[in-house]
Amino acid sequence: ASAVSPDGVVESIERRSGSFLMGVQWHPEFLTKTGKQAAIFGALIRAAKGRTRALK
């Protein structure tokens, strides 16, 4: 688990190696202006760009 709430509920998971995989238990798209939420989208965009380059 990458994030756990104070009561022990897993809030996010991610794969640290290999292809991009991330799951969150909230709506980061509603908070795209905050640093940590923006980082989620930045990671997704970087992974997509890398995948696109690898397929060419």
User: What confidence tens digit (pLDDT) does each residue in 16-56 have?
Assistant: 888 999 999 988 888 777 778 888 889 999 999 999 988 88
User: In the chain, what are the domain boundaries?
Assistant: 3-55
Cβ pair 30, 36 in contact under 8 A: no
At 49 the pLDDT is 96
pLDDT above 90 for 14: yes
Query: Side chain identity at 2, as an amino acid letter?
Result: S
Cβ pair 12, 25 in contact under 8 A: yes
DSSP 8-25: S-EEEEE-SSSS--EEES
At 31 the pLDDT is 79
Does the pTM of the predicted model rise above 0.85? no
At 11 the pLDDT is 94
Residue 30 to residue 42: CA distance in whole angstroms: 15
- Angle ∠(8,26,29) on CA atoms, nearest 5: 155
